[in-house]
Structure 1
């Protein structure tokens, strides 16, 4: 049986994180929540729900994910598959089995959960998120012949593939960096349609003008960086 570990970056998600953890299939080997400088009770709630909890003081989605990878690198038994999942309960964690199936059954390197319009709850993605996703995927298709339709945070990847990617982005560019490196290094990938609902609480990125602008700049800069690399 494949060893699957889940990494969940979380910033002030005390109201959602226990629900996320409870919905993750029980055959997952370990759930790792990285409290990204949370000022609420996220860490205690996650720990009481059964997760391994790490603390990352440096603010940024990428910083939190890298903290999780550092933790995995120090374990004696490494996972076969790593799943990334948000801590706001906007994804459906019970769909994790669908994401890892192509890796287990077909030896695919990377699987992304695609939040198609027909499967999204109304209001779950802001207009700027929808446009930003469309623009990023359009540019990747134009410049790299990509078939990606989304930058969704719910994703699964072989641990060995993840190590080869040598992820480095510290903030908003983590998801697009991963997809660009998958494309540039010719790893196999596939998208699986997943449902998406309104998050619990307010988004720390798309919920603010500053967050939206900074995320957009970072995503576009990664795309053009790889275009000329």
Structure 2
């Protein structure tokens, strides 16, 4: 019996990109869930027309949107085997989802991170704060937990039962690092898969602003230090 795979896509004002993302997700996915994070444009209508299940989360924050998607999945009669998280800005290559879930299906890995390696990144697709922040965060995880992560990339796959066991709580920018830290604490098996990365459509709500970059950095570091000394 083929695995049931659900995709959660947090989206804030992504009307120009969301249909591209949805249409390039492989057919092995059972349901695509777009969570409109208080969008003020046509993101919801475009996503609906492209065939996604559309949810609304008025509280702004990446984590809030992801939690809304998880809440919806928990209400379903048939639960997925795997949940994939993917951004709605079309910076990732949705077709690479098959590579992302392969370690789970073939090697029983619990968590897979899509690593935006330099050789596969379009020039200018990641800002300096993003590159430095990833390096710092993964270096600290290596120092404190002997982890082998190289990225906090949002394109990731995880077994659904393992995701539930993490009891995720972060409401904003700390969502990705919280997941990785809790997975380390619980001794989950994990790996990374190199993924291509390109310039997003539109302006980033996080790395595109000084305020967003600083806030994201503070949240990420606070999670790392919290788990390093508990």
DSSP-derived class of the 2:114 partner:
strand
DSSP-derived class of the 1:160 partner:
helix
- The residue correspondences of 1:85-104 to structure 2 (distance < 5 A) are 85-104=86-105
Q: Is residue 209 from structure 1 mapped to residue 210 from structure 2 by the alignment?
A: yes
Q: Is residue 45 from structure 1 mapped to residue 46 from structure 2 by the alignment?
A: yes
Q: Extract structure 1 runs of 4+ deviating beyond 2 A.
A: none
Deviations 1:52-77 (A, max 9, x none): 00000000000000000000000000
DSSP-derived class of the 1:170 partner:
coil
Match of 1:33 in 2: 34
Unaligned runs of 5+ in 1: none
CA displacement at 1:228 relative to structure 2: 1.1
- The residue correspondences of 1:121-160 to structure 2 (distance < 5 A) are 121-160=122-161
DSSP-derived class of the 1:218 partner:
helix
- The residue correspondences of 1:56-71 to structure 2 (distance < 5 A) are 56-71=57-72
Match of 2:225 in 1: 224
CA displacement at 1:27 relative to structure 2: 1.6
Alignment RMSD, CA only? 0.3
DSSP-derived class of the 2:29 partner:
coil
Unaligned runs of 5+ in 2: none
CA displacement at 1:25 relative to structure 2: 0.3
Deviations 1:3-31 (A, max 9, x none): 00000000000000000000000121000
Q: What is the distance in 1 between the residues matched to 2:27 and 2:102?
A: 15
- TM-score under structure 1 length normalisation: 1.00
Aligned residue pairs, count: 229
- TM-score under structure 2 length normalisation: 0.99
CA displacement at 1:92 relative to structure 2: 0.2
Deviations 1:158-214 (A, max 9, x none): 000000000000000000000000101100000000000000000000000000000
